[in-house]
Structure 1
Amino acid sequence: MRSYTEEELQDALDLFRVFARAFKSVSEHSIRDSKEHGFNPTEFAVLELLFTKGPQKLQQLGSRLLLVSGNVTYVIDKLEKNGYIYREQDPKDKRSIYAKLTEKGDAYLHEIYPIHAIRIARAFSGLNAEEKAELKALLKKAGHHSQHLLFR
């Protein structure tokens, strides 16, 4: 393992604190939005993913949203019970089950998603387009590198 100077260690810890505070602050916009619409943040994230990316295998939902399988099942059950999504078996692979938006879910997301997008855009409105692109690239780079280190 590489050795680090005290300054490098302090810089890394400072960066982590700034990142964590910024993430919490920006996330709060999405959390408030989801609660205003009667969902918890995880339920809203599932609906948002299905709305923006289309049907998803249940196994993919968990990994894409960083959820354990028990949480995925609970959230899917609740959203299905409330009529927002349904499960459909893959005709080519009977072991695979997809989550899909119902007509009710799709109509509801068409109604609320533009408002949600505006709120998230407002959260980042302190950055210009170039800064947003740079931040996105740097966060992706840091995330990929960190993920790589976990599986070394």
Structure 2
Amino acid sequence: MAAGDVAASPPLTRTLARAARAVTASVEQVVRPEGLTFDQWLVVETLAAEGSLAMAELGERTMITGPTLTRLVDRLVTTALVYREVDPADRRKVMVHLSRRGEALHRAVAPKVAEVEQHLLGGLKRAGAVLEALEGMAER
């Protein structure tokens, strides 16, 4: 890609924001009938993928700030999708665990979300490279 090609492209910030909103809206159509918001799905999906996490770690992985994450986890506890307990190794940490009900919900919903993601990525010739580039940006 020549330097002039980048200047002629839409700004990265606006493009990523529009793409993120499109992905969020599409995923919400799948998770909303299950009684979840997009951010609640991120918490469930993260716990399913990574196992139990401390609240701080969960916040880092989902990019959800402390007070908002606390409210989300509170709602997920109320619906018995997750549960919390004090970390026995460090009593200052609160660990969040996916419950059996949460695991079952994840197994039911994850294929639907994956289908939405595949549909969104379907038109990209190099979807893997795009996802790797975005992950690299997120880790910086």
TM-score, scaled relative to structure 2: 0.83
Aligned to 1:55: 52
Instruction: Give the letter aligned to residue 120 of structure 2.
Output: A
In 2, the alpha carbon distance for the partners of 1:127 and 1:15 equals 17
CA RMSD of aligned residues (A): 2.3
Size of the alignment, in residue pairs? 137
Question: Where in structure 2 are there 5+ consecutive unaligned residues?
Answer: none
Q: Tell me, yes or no, if structure 1 residue 124 matches structure 2 residue 102.
A: no
Partner of 2:131: 136
Separation in 1, partners of 2:9, 2:119: 28
Using the alignment, how far apart are the partners of 2:135 and 2:91 within structure 1? 35
Within the candidate set 28, 32, 39, 2:36 is matched to 39
| Percent identity of equivalent pairs | 23
Aligned amino acid, residue 70 of structure 1? P
Rg (Cα) greater in structure: 1
Counterpart residue identity of residue 69, structure 2 = V
2:21 paired residue number:
24
Instruction: Say whether residues 1:72 and 2:69 are aligned partners.
Output: yes
Change (3 A) 1:125 1:81: same
Report if aligned partners of 2:24, 2:38 keep a CA contact under 8 Å in 1: no
Alignment TM-score, normalising by the size of structure 1: 0.77
**Which segments of 5 or more consecutive residues in structure 1 lack a partner in the other structure?**
1-6, 148-152
Deviates more, 1:25-34 or 1:97-106: 25-34
> 2:106 aligned to 97, 101, 109, which one?
109
2:91 corresponds, among 91, 94, 97, to 94
Distance change (3 Å), C-alpha of 1:93 and 1:40: same
**Aligned with 1:114: secondary structure?**
helix
Q: Give the 3-state SS of the residue equivalent to 1:67 in structure 2.
A: coil
Q: Residue type of the partner of 2:24?
A: S
- CA–CA distance in 2 between the matches of 1:97 and 1:19? 33
Distance 1:60 1:49 in 2: 10
Q: Corresponding residue for 2:79?
A: 82
